[in-house]
Each structure stands twice: as structure tokens, then as C-alpha cells.
Amino acid sequence: ITLNLNGYTLTGKITLTNGQNTNAFTLTDKKADNYKAGSAGGVLTGPANGIEMNNGTKSAHNKLILTGKTLTLRNLSRAVNGQDFIDITAKDVTFTGNTDSGIRLNGSYHNIVAEGAVFTKNTGYSILTNGNYSTVALKDVEIYDNSGRVYVNSNSTVTVDGGEFHDNITTSQSGGVIASVGWTNTITINGGEFYNNKAVNGGVVYLVYTGNVTINDGKFYNNTATSNGGALAAGNRAVI
């Protein structure tokens, strides 16, 4: 199922049931392939939650695709909200002005891919997975001017491949860009530019308990913390 919001603003909530359906629901704003004919833009707005995703199952995850260079999810509480067995792909879409989260999944077994997406001026989390066994892949995303960040709990992975992460500031939380608060998480940064981020601990990355942080490439500058770690803070059982 595809819902095309090109030229429209939708105020309200979309609820996605699963029913053992392995097909994805797609929200887009496309007018033509590759926007050759242009796009008037599409907006999903609040103030309530935007897209509610019911639980999937182990064999049939509930799937959502958000795609569109001028598709915006704005001024919602949780732009996307769900719990267990959920897959989300966000490509080129913008999340802005959301008060709780851009994407918030409270259960376990999630796969989130954000490619070319923008998270800006959100006062809550950019992405939150508050359970176990989640993967978050960030490819050429922009996360800037937020007080929220990417948050994972336990037995989860975050991979960063390029993008810009700047001016994310939290005065009460740790991890200005990525916060790993559970056990046995893996964070891999293969590139990207990280600057002017600030948190209590770890202006860019905060790893609380066990886990691994690998930085293969990237630029880090002007990141600060009010307590520990200008760019990175990790517990004494973590592997860097």
C-alpha cells in the first residue's frame, strides 16, 4: 500500500496493523520518478503521534517505508511509534519539530535504516529503540539542532556511514549524538562529520556498560561534555 501526500498536509494519525502481512506500507510525496516533474511536498503533522505501528511477529515484521525529498513529518509527539518486530526505512525524509521522538520503538527486534534523512529541531529523541536486539543504520543522514539523539538499549548495533551531526545539545542527558545505555551494544562509525555537540557525558557517543565502539573514519571537533568525554565517554568494561 502506498499513500502519496504530494501537495497535501495530513493532520492526524495513521495506524498500521500487521495481520501476518509481509508487505510494507509506503508514505511518499513523489510526483514522478526521481522528481523529474517536481514535487509540491507532503506533510504529516500533529500534535498527536503520526504513525502508530502495531506489533509484527518474528516471521512477519510490520514494515514501514518513508521516502521523499520533500516529505516532512513535523510538529508531532512521536512521528513514528511502535513496539515489537518492526522494520522502518526512512529515505530522504525530514523529521522536524517533534516533541517526543522522530522514531520511537519501545519493544524489541527492530531494524531501522535512515538514508539521506534529516532530523532537526526535535526536542525529543531523533531515534529511540528502548528494548533489545535492534539495528540502526545511518547512511548520509543529517542530525542537527536537536536536544534529542539516537538511543539504543541492549544487544543492539548502531552503524554510521557518513553524514553530518552538529549542534545537538542536551543539558541533562549523556550522548549528544548516540547514547548506548544497555548491555552488549556495538557502535561503528565509518565516516561522518561531528561538531558542536554537547552533553553531560560524551558530546558525541556515550556507552554506559559493556559493548564496543569502533571508529574507522570521521571528523570530530568542538564537541564538549560538562562531565566526562568531549567526544566519547564509555564505561570501564567497554572496548574502544
Q: Please give the model's pTM, rounded to 2 decimal places.
A: 0.93
What tens digit of pLDDT does each residue of 136-188 get? 999 999 999 998 899 999 999 999 999 999 999 998 899 999 999 989 999 99
Q: Which of the two residues, 96 and 6, has the higher pLDDT score?
A: 96
What tens digit of pLDDT does each residue of 1-49 get? 888 888 888 998 899 886 555 678 999 887 645 544 455 678 999 889 9
- State the Cα–Cα distance between residues 107 and 49, nearest whole angstrom: 17
What is the identity of the amino acid at 18?
A: N
Q: In terms of Cα–Cα distance, which of 105, 96, 43 is closest to 68?
A: 43
Q: In terms of Cα–Cα distance, which of 118, 213, 127 is closest to 177?
A: 127
- State the Cα–Cα distance between residues 96 and 121, nearest whole angstrom: 5
CA distances from 207 to 90, 158, 232, 239 (A): 25, 12, 8, 10
Which pLDDT score is estimated for 35?
Answer: 47
- What is the average per-residue pLDDT within 106-118? 96
